[in-house]
Structures are given as structure tokens and as C-alpha cells.
Structure 1
Amino acid sequence: MKRSSEALITSVHNPRVKAWAQLLDKKGRDQQQQYMIEGVHLVQEALASGVKIEVLVYAEERQQSLPPGMLQSAESADIECIAVSEAVLNKCTDALTPQAVFAVLPKLIWEPQDLLQPYEIDRKHSSSSKETSAASTPSLVVVIDGVQDPGNLGTIIRSADAVGATGILLGKGTVDLYNPKTVRSTMGSLFHLPIASGDLVEWLPSAASQGVAIVTTSLQATASCYEFEFRRPVWFVIGNEGQGVSPEVSRLATEHIRIPMQGKAESLNAAMAATVVLFEAMRQRGL
């Protein structure tokens, strides 16, 4: 059991509090190579997924509102648990109405080359340990090319998790994965599959050279997403909300498909389009 040796932290000027508060900004996250998850659901998901947690911080006045056994589970996993005042909690969290708990985690350590093989996270182990077992189905990697909205990125990650995608590759110009709004909108799915960052101009050709289909959506495409063969290795590229897939990335695509629409809407939101295509891939692969 690992209860913190520190007394209740009440000062917002405490050095640890200052370090936690810096995780609200990308500069602080990059310097510390850590990020924060806020709220009961995300902390429960992290504990259940077995990801490494550096410290769990909870509001001392609201300890009784935490799910039964949460602190005990954390302590039995040798996670430091620290009680703080409401002022400290407010200082360190992004939500307007903070829940009673947050945790600090090390950034994910996945690399683009990890996505070149079909992986399925072994949920008995931490995703940060890279302990995996080969998936029985061909790879399905979701590639993000410049998505800017944190909510969109988080929703795409949730959809990728829901359909059993084997990984996600974040290209340059994409919103920070560890942005608090992105993390919240993943609802814990970022713990469930490999997520790496890399230069798409480098890694898309690498995947294509191994027989992977590089697929994007296009309003000009003639082939429907419902006609495309998804029962093979596929890297599916989602573009920026306003500009779509960048020209340099689009030139690297081996296939272009469209999402048929009967109404008058010109196009779909990036996250919605990704979800439609990913669920069609799951249907074809034998739900």
C-alpha cells in the first residue's frame, strides 16, 4: 500500500502543485514528458487498463465521493496517492467544475514503426510496456493529417477503438494528443491502442511498400466506401476540418473513396466521416 508520506497539500505554491499545473500547457507537458487525466471515469479507465500512473491526486474534502475501492486499487498498484485542498484541485485542472480526482501519467511511447505490424493491445499489461500479441486480422490504422479540433481528434480515437483499429498515426499539424480537451473526449480510448506521431510523408510510403492500402476520402472519388475492400491491410487518412487531406499526403494515397449522401449536406464533419468509414471496415471484417 502506498499512501503519500506528504501531509495534505493546501498551498497552490507547493512545487508539486506548480509542476502539475504546468501540464495544462503543451510546453509543460513536453518538458515533463507527462500529461494529466481528469475525473473519475478516466482515472478508472487508466487503472483498469493497467497504464502507468505516476501519481493520483484527490480532493481531501470529497474523498467519500470517490468510487469505493479506487484509492485502495491505486495503492495496491503502488501508485502514490496525494490528498489536496479544493484550491489546489482548481489550480491544476482544466474543467470548469473539477471532479474530485486527477492523475498524472507518462506520455505514450509508441513509435510509427510499431504500426507497421498489426497489433492488439494485451490488456493484461500496460500499453506503455509495448507488450503485445499479434492481431488475427489485417492492420487498420487511422492516420490523422492536421485535425485541429480536440473534440474531433478524441472522437476519432474513440471510434478507432470501438471498431478494433490496430493503431493511430498523428501527422504534423495535428492538435496535441495530450490537450486536456482531447484527453477527455477520448473517454479513455487512448489507453486501449497504440497511438504514435510521425511525418506522414515518410511513413505512408513505408506502409505502402509493405502492401498496405493508403486510403483517403474525396468528394471527387467515384468508388464508394461501401464498395471498397477493407479486408486487407489499410491505413485510412483523415484530413483537416476545413482543408481536408493536404495535397502532399493526398498524392501518397493509393485509393480515394467517397461517402455516399442522399441529402443536401455537402460534406460531413471529420470525426463523423471517419466514424462512417471505420464502421464499414468493421462490418466487412466480420462484426
Structure 2
Amino acid sequence: MDTEAQHPERDPSSDTEEGSRSARVSEAPAPRRDPGHTTAPEPGRDPAPEPHRRAPSWRRTALVGGACVAFLLLLSHFVMQPFLIPSGSMEPTLQVGDRILVNKLAYRFGSEPRRGDVVVFDGTGSFVREEPEVNPVSGLLRGAGAALGLAEPAETDFVKRVVGTGGDRVVCCDKNGRITVNGVPVEERYVMFGDQPSSVAFDIVVPPGRLWVMGDHRSQSSDSRDHLGNPGGGMVPVEKVVGRAGWIVWPFGRWSALPATEAYDAVPAPTAGGHGAGAHG
């Protein structure tokens, strides 16, 4: 009698099917997560923080642009102002359409304009009797444009060369047609070629704190000579000077510093009483 236990026989095909089923289960890919689908956070866990939203690009651009304009306006008001040359009264030194930088700090710390300096000044009360009335809004926009060198300057702003300072005696002209300052003839090589130093005769003494100014293109310049009969006699108060023209910055082909002139190096200081020396004959 066979005493060994009889093991039930298994169908080989069932083993194959179970193995295949196991393999299929183990090889099945993980379910894909929908990126737009949000699942509830697990209990006990804080929800993931939402990403920080950036401001729209146009808003950032506007803020940066506004900050740049504000900085330029402050710089223009206190330190350095662009100035558009609207006329040919300072040719050949400055040409129509030139943009210059005016150094507003040049006369802020005790220094005063010197003979030969090219200056920008407010002509109200000397070249212009009173400031013309303008629409407040248009005036503000034009002022901002002028401060950035994008628009013509105000009608009261002028650019000229200082010929005489307080106490100087300025005379036109000696027998050779030259202007004299404190009795010394001035060789004005910056004057427009073909122009006379002046077609108008004058003999004036500049009061203290004032300036006698003229354009380099004498035949095309309305300057101190044209206001001799006006209150102030065409003299510009020093406190009305905006600054000294220092550089031509536009167009690029004319980029340069305004050269200093030696024309007045030999001119002596005015004598006591401000009468200067007699004009050379």
C-alpha cells in the first residue's frame, strides 16, 4: 500500500496564465496625472504655496520709464540741462539744431560768469519785458520737453557770449573796427566770418552784478546792443544766468566741448569806479 500523500496535480496552463497576469499587473504603467487637476491635500499636511505672480511686463516697463524720466528731470533742474539751439545767432560756435549741455553748477558756489563764457540766461526784464502768458498744461509739457532737450526752449531763454562783466567799459569800436574792453582791443576769432564786430556804435559801463552779452553771428543776433534803450540797458543780471554751455552733444558728428577763448586774456580788471581805461584809437 502506497503511504505517500498524493499531491493534487495542477494544470500547467493555469500556471502560465497566472504568471502572465502577474507580469501584466506589475508592468502596468502608473496612472498619468492631469496637470490641470488639483487634488485635495492629504490630512495633516499644509497645502503647497501658490507661486508668486509677477506684475505685468507693461507695468514694470512703465514704472522703470517713469523713474528714468523723473531722474532726468531732477538732473536737468539742478545739475545739467540739455538746451536746443533754435537760431543761428551763435554761429559758427553753435548751429541751428545743436543740443548743448548747460552746466548749472558752474556759478552756484561763488563763481561768476567770466568774459568769453557762453551762457544760457532768462531774459525776462532785460531782453523780454515780461514773461508771455501760456496755457498751464501746454506750458508744463513744453517745459518738460525743453528740460530734456526735446523741444525749443522758452521764449525767455537765450544763449549768448559774455563780453563785459560788472565794472567793465565796453566800446565799439576802435579805428580797426574792434571792440575794446577796458581800453584793450579784443581779437574775436569766434565771430562769424564776414561779420563786423558790431554795426552799432556804443560806449557803456556794465553795472556791478550785470553782464553785457553778444551773439557770435553779430549780423543775426539780437543781444545787448538791441536793448540799450530798454530798462536795464540790455544788461543781464547775473542771478538770471541759468548756467554755462559746456558741451555739444547732438548731432554726434559735432560732439565736443565748447573751447575756451583767449580773446580776453589781456583785458585788465576795471579801474575803481568802473570807468575802465580809454578806448584805443
Judge same fold: TM > 0.5, yes or no.
no
* Range of TM-score over shorter length: under 0.3
Instruction: State which structure, 1 or 2, has the greater radius of gyration over its C-alpha atoms.
Output: 2
Higher helix share: 1
Report the TM-score, using the length of structure 2 for normalisation: 0.26
Report the TM-score, using the length of structure 1 for normalisation: 0.26
